[in-house]
Structure 1
Amino acid sequence: MTSKTPHSDQANAIAYCPALFLAAPASGQGKTTITAALARYHRDLGRKVRVFKMGPDYLDPQILEQASGQPVTQLDLWMAGPEYCRHQFYLAAQQSDLILVEGAMGVFDGEPSSADLAATFNIPIALVIDVKGMAQTAAAVALGLASFRDDVEFCGLIANNCGTQRHAQLIDDALAGRMPLLANLARDPEVSLPERHLGLVQAHEVREELEHRFNLGKAWLGGQAICDLPKPVAFTSQDIAAPQKLLQGTTIGIARDAAFSFIYSANTRLLEAMGAKLSYFSPLNDQHLPDVDALWFAGGYPELHAKKLAGNSSMLKDIRRFNALQKPILAECGGFLYCLEKLTDLDDTTYPMVGILAGQGAMRGKRGCQGMQAAMLPEGEVRAHAHHRSRSQNTPAPIAHGQRQRHPAPGEAIYRQQGLTASYLHLFFPSNPQAVAQLFTKPLQTTHSSAAIGSI
């Protein structure tokens, strides 16, 4: 790998910056651990590192943001669109010394896949493989993936969970110079980021533990080739019109605490760009709503905090009064469950919730729904995704359903009652700023039957 200071070619609207895409043959190979360690390594050398996460994931970006010290943006060619992705890369290249992108699932999985994103922007892929239980086969897998598509550049292999130096040598010998072995990383449970931490990353004690693991991760990389700056990539500009000030003079109250944390930074940036003032509050800890014109309850973990949410009676009353005034409220996934009449947690204990939408929510263990969908709102189509392990029942008739990206079956139900718009869908606001602005000002009123429907 070579090192070159990034620079911008203003005449051709091109910005150059070293960039690397970390992908794997499957989930669970150690991508997030390695991306975080690499980000911290370069950050501690005084470099400005921008990390992007492929796909709609909320949790890995929280870890990567802490590791890099910079905002982490989710990118997806379907949900966000290629123009948005191009613009984000161009801006980052102008301001950064290194760009890292963490893929999702297997490198060729999904439509669009991690490979599609890497190929679109000519970012070389470092392949992360957990090599525990194999040696030469790891080389075969890496070389096979590298030959699968001609338009994707693979720059090397990171062999994670290596047992010994002999183990690493067997892999390197099998590669036979056809692909560099960028790093062999010893098995070290102290460095790995256990999955159980992902839902608790905001807790102070866990943040301290993550800091400890990031520092161990730097030594774990051990100055191997993966630590060298990758080659600069040319990122072209994308002209995107500045958003109209459709929310000028509007104050939006955003629920943000341990129960509600699944908030895209791209969404809040867009709201502010459209002129909105953002006022954050905690349904868990605050007694009253702030003085706002609209509310947004994002997803999160209300099931882990149902007792405390139910016990904050003054907050529940404030939200009911706000809804009675027919002011705009957007409730997504966990926020949707919060707005129902009752929520049953994983211990099968039922608690009263806000009750501004008829119905009950209940957790259902490992079963759930996930995938990209388009929210077919009366205001227009907004790209979104679903990821939940709960069900709702005895809810009113929906005004619409999500449209699944790759399946003809109806997607998640979308409800509207007075000013409330509620669904399991997590909306990506930049996909339709005008529709989102209307959601937070004057949602279109629709007529529908009030008859209850079955479980969703």
Structure 2
Amino acid sequence: MHAARCPALVVAAPASGQGKTTVTAALARLHARAGRRVRVFKCGPDHLDPHWHELASGATVHPLDLWLTGEEDCRRRLHEAAGAADLVLIEGVMGLFDGEHSVGELARRLGIPVLVVIDAGAMGGTFGALAHGLRSYWPDLPWAGVLANRVAGERHAQMLRAGLRDAGDWWGALPRVAAAGEGRGEPGGLLPERQLGLVAARELPDALARLDAAADALAGTPLGRLGLAGWQRWAVDFPAPAAPAPVPQLLGGWRVAVARDEAFSLVHAANLDTLRALGAQLQCFAPLRGEALPTCDALWLPGGQPERHAPALAAQAALRAQLQEHVALGRPIWAEGGALGALAQSVTLADGTRFPMWGLLPGHAVVHRRLRGLGPRELRLQQPASEGPALRGHSFHYTSLDCSAPPIGHALRPGSSDALDGGEAVYRHGSIRASFFQPWFPSAPAVVAQLFGAAGHQGGG
């Protein structure tokens, strides 16, 4: 295999909430409308922003993260994308230099130029100072320039541009583009927000119109007017990666049902691919729509926001009976993130409203107004815990669970051995295994097989 060469940009920012998602999705939509093949990636374990990028680009969006997915996985996916696309876009996470495995470090290590989006709505000359600081903080950072967001008008844009040390850094200014009735969301006004982050694109009937409005606004900037020939200034060589290690068929012949709807929506495509690589046959179904549990050997309830649909889920009496029978037969369930609320005996929302739920886990869930868990986590189920592969993932939830089921392990902060230091319990109740920990399956397929109840491998569950 040879290196694949393709224009690529990392879209970063000095902090969260600057408009990275809007700009990335607008760029993808602008070029996809022109018939170009666009591949988009998202840094970190985010499940919601990729919905917008998939709608904008028409292609699956995978995460890139030096810790979670690993550098080799990043290189492998970028090489594949570069060989099939006209341009590659990578949306960053948080601020450019935030975290031990920052977006800046990924850009520097992979040699991908960085375009910084800055919310300049309340800014003048400081815009130039901020751009200069970000550019020069790491002298070897690949650099593309800056884009001003939430700009009041042409005079404001001229003021911002004049403050730059290098005029070549300027790639334009975006006004605040408000959707009808919009009150919250990213600067740019088109992508609405709620507790866990941006609202998923598929939940908005006018999502594509919002993306078109953002793309139209971007089309008037120097960046938006740049054709593919101009994008070649940011062309990157992505070397051919080493072949990945083979995945053992620990779920060979298993039929795995996967809940997929608005309540169970936080699913990485690579997690589904890993289950298939383990030998599983997947069948998706939508609990909210009253679809029956497929005939299966195991069930996966991914993360999401079941509490937003508590009355509808609680009303699925037929499905609840099917789940009870599934568990009575000793067939495994792996539930993660918000799915714990659906399995609990009840869930109490942030406003105090309480709903009975499926009652398969002995515990009660409570949705809080503040985060209850956030950040990277890793799980080892082998004994001693210092041995064996670590299943990497993350924790991001507002819900707590008062559960009497015993934990079979804890997903810990990297480098920590203390379960009390933000550790996420992995509960076991009969054939159910459940945790707020949301794993990245490719990091340790053998541990995933354990969570799904497969036997016949190291540390079998």
TM-score (norm 2): 0.89
- Give yes or no for the alignment of 1:236 onto 2:255: no
The verdict on how the C-alpha distance between 1:116 and 1:308 changes in structure 2, with shifts beyond 3 A counting, is: same
Q: Is contact 1:182–1:225 with CA below 8 Å preserved after alignment?
A: yes
The one-letter code of the counterpart of 2:3 is I
Indicate the residue corresponding to 1:404 in structure 2: 413
Deviation at 1:98, TM superposition (A): 0.6
Mapping of 1:295-374 within 5 angstroms? 295-374=299-378
Paired with 1:287 and 1:165, the residues of 2 have a C-alpha distance of: 54
Paired with 1:275 and 1:387, the residues of 2 have a C-alpha distance of: 29
Structure 2, unmatched stretches of 5+, are 180-187, 383-387
Residue deviations 1:372-428 (CA, integer Å, cap 9, x gap): 000222485210101000111143231211111366525111112222211000010
Deviation at 1:445, TM superposition (A): 6.8
Structure 1, unmatched stretches of 5+, are 1-9, 447-456
Mapping of 1:428-439 within 5 angstroms? 428-439=440-451
Q: Is contact 1:402–1:411 with CA below 8 Å preserved after alignment?
A: yes
After the TM superposition, which of the residue ranges 235-244 and 364-373 deviates more from structure 2?
235-244
The one-letter code of the counterpart of 2:427 is Y
Q: Is contact 1:143–1:179 with CA below 8 Å preserved after alignment?
A: no
- Give yes or no for the alignment of 1:202 onto 2:195: no
Paired with 2:211 and 2:291, the residues of 1 have a C-alpha distance of: 37
Instruction: Find the partner of 1:262 among 261, 266, 284.
Output: 266
Mapping of 1:82-161 within 5 angstroms? 82-161=71-150
Paired with 2:175 and 2:39, the residues of 1 have a C-alpha distance of: 26
Deviation at 1:169, TM superposition (A): 1.4
Mapping of 1:36-75 within 5 angstroms? 36-75=25-64
After the TM superposition, which of the residue ranges 213-222 and 295-304 deviates more from structure 2?
213-222
Deviation at 1:350, TM superposition (A): 2.1
Indicate the residue corresponding to 2:184 in structure 1: none
Indicate the residue corresponding to 1:289 in structure 2: 293
Indicate the residue corresponding to 2:425 in structure 1: 413
Moved over 3 A (4+): 443-446
- Give yes or no for the alignment of 1:274 onto 2:255: no
- Give yes or no for the alignment of 1:193 onto 2:191: yes
Residue deviations 1:127-150 (CA, integer Å, cap 9, x gap): 000101111101100110111112
Identity rate, percent: 40
The verdict on how the C-alpha distance between 1:287 and 1:173 changes in structure 2, with shifts beyond 3 A counting, is: closer
After the TM superposition, which of the residue ranges 408-417 and 317-326 deviates more from structure 2?
408-417
Residue deviations 1:71-106 (CA, integer Å, cap 9, x gap): 000111111111111101011111111100000011
Indicate the residue corresponding to 1:215 in structure 2: 212
The one-letter code of the counterpart of 1:401 is H
Paired with 2:320 and 2:140, the residues of 1 have a C-alpha distance of: 54
The verdict on how the C-alpha distance between 1:282 and 1:423 changes in structure 2, with shifts beyond 3 A counting, is: same
The one-letter code of the counterpart of 2:310 is A
The one-letter code of the counterpart of 2:428 is R
Paired with 1:134 and 1:48, the residues of 2 have a C-alpha distance of: 35
Indicate the residue corresponding to 1:245 in structure 2: 249
Q: Is contact 2:363–2:404 with CA below 8 Å preserved after alignment?
A: yes
Deviation at 1:357, TM superposition (A): 2.0
After the TM superposition, which of the residue ranges 275-284 and 129-138 deviates more from structure 2?
275-284
- Give yes or no for the alignment of 1:77 onto 2:78: no
TM-score (norm 1): 0.90
Equivalences, count: 432
